[in-house]
Amino acid sequence: MKIKWYGHAAFKITTDGGIRVIIDPYQSGAFGGALSYGKIAEEADIVLTSHDHDDHNYTGDIKGKYRQLDEEGVYEEKGVRVEGIGCYHDATEGKERGKNLIFVIEADGLKVVHLGDLGHMLGPDTVKKVGQPDILLIPVGGFYTIDPEEASRVVADIGPRVTMPMHYRTARCTFPIASVEAFTKGKKGVRLMNKSEIEIKEEWLPKEPEIIVLQHAL
């Protein structure tokens, strides 16, 4: 499969069979221009949205006849298994920012977990339900989500083979959140890529855990 990072928390997974899954698409220019990544004007077969905020649920530019999944449950669509697991956007059980979905996506012999706007540490029951992913897409910026230190603890609890940080401050995201360096500093196995998309196969997974930092596509 191929994994492409558009920017913020938005990714596209393309399976070996060509099925396109877009996760947490943002509205370009939202929040008074604080989120200035370009428009996601690509085709999708499946669209996953973790919660109803403009930086995670905007489908207005996406093309094609796709199925949108935005609720808890287990789904099978075009050979892709998706499980939505409920959690919260904050540390007060949703009282501040509401609910959030974790998506567990399985295709091509790989398990990809996207944590959406996770705002709290995961309890043992949720960790067990998520299982051990091959690839973990995790917010690291803090303020609206878990911060770099909390993200590091979540990674340790879940134990992915590959971690891809998201939802952090860049030149195109001026939210009051941390940069990716606050998460990667002092860690081993960090790969800074000069591209926005990477191909991953089960047999290519690293023996030791890695952190892969992609460049935003838009």
pLDDT one-digit tens code per residue, 140-177: 999 999 999 999 999 999 999 999 999 999 999 999 99
Whether pTM > 0.75 for this model: the answer is yes
The rounded percent of the chain whose pLDDT value lies above 90 is 91
**pLDDT for the residue numbered 54:** 82
CATH of domain 2-213: 3.60.15.10
Alpha-carbon distance 39 to 17, whole Å? 25
Neighbours of 27 (CB within 10 A): 19
Q: Which residues pair with 173 in a beta bridge?
A: 35, 170
pLDDT interval class at 48 (50, 70, 90)? very high
**pLDDT for the residue numbered 92:** 79
CB 140 within 8 Å of CB 151: yes
**pLDDT for the residue numbered 136:** 98
- Can you give the residue ranges of every domain in the chain? 2-213
Alpha-carbon distance 114 to 137, whole Å? 5
**pLDDT for the residue numbered 29:** 94
What's the mean pLDDT when you consider all of the chain?
A: 95
pLDDT interval class at 99 (50, 70, 90)? confident
CB 161 within 8 Å of CB 134: yes
**pLDDT for the residue numbered 47:** 98
Q: Which amino acid would we find at residue 136?
A: L
